Structure formats: structure tokens, C-alpha cells
Amino acid sequence: MPTKKQRRRRAKEQRHEYEVVWVDDEGNEVEVAPEAAAAKTKSAKATSTSRGGRGRTAQAPSWPRSARRALMFAPFFFAVLLLIQRSLLGALLVTAFYTAVFVPFTYALDSFAYRKQLKRQAGG
């Protein structure tokens, strides 16, 4: 079901007529056959909406990116565990363990997203 914004945008597209104008090498406007113009705009719309509105693309997985991500979350792990355990050494050890587990986990998630994107691009 389209959202309200999508319905308004679709209504606006149907309300306004757009002319497709082609310019040749000399700078003169050339008329285009109506069916060719309609086919061109339909194919352009199909390719622009084929991603489903997602602007981001998954990057190839890398270990350094996963390690940076784990190091960014380590202080949050430590703070939460320190509040829960009330032991500095215990919180530090568990944080080190969680950070060590977090690196391969995020690498696996990145590789899953990347493979899924490659399959989507190859299939569509």
C-alpha cells in the first residue's frame, strides 16, 4: 500500500505533462515519437525505483571496519557492564570478551549484506 507521500507524488506525475525534448549535435531541438518518449520514461522510472528506495549500498566486508565498529561500541559495553556488575575488573574482562566476539559477528553481518546485494543486482 503506497504511503500518502507516494500517492501525492503519483497524482502530481499524472497531473502534469512533461515534454521530452532531444537536442542534436548542432543544438537544434528534434521531435521525438510519442511512443519512444513514453518507453524511455517508463524504463527510467523502472531503473530508478528498482532499489526499493534505499539509498545506501552495502560495501565489501573488511576486518578493519569491523574492528573500528567494535572499538566504538566498547565504551558503551563497559559503561553498561560497570553499572550492572559494580566491579571494575569484571566489567573490563567481559567488555574485552564482548568486543572480541563483536568483531567477527559484524564481519559476518557485513558479508551477508554484501552477498545479498550482489545477488539482488545479478538477478534484477
Per-residue pLDDT of 87-121, as tens digits, reads: 899 999 999 999 999 999 999 999 999 999 998 88
Burial of 105 from C-beta contacts in 10 A (0-12 / 13-18 / 19+): middle
- In DSSP notation, 53-65 reads T----PPPP-HHH
Per-residue pLDDT tens for 59-69?
Answer: 899 999 999 99
How far apart are the C-alpha atoms of 65 and 112, rounded to whole Å?
15
Q: Is the pTM value of this prediction over 0.85?
A: no
- Rounded to 10 degrees, the C-alpha dihedral 97/103/108/110 comes to 150
- Spell out the domain ranges in the chain: 4-48, 63-123
Per-residue pLDDT tens for 66-96?
Answer: 999 999 999 999 999 999 988 899 999 999 9
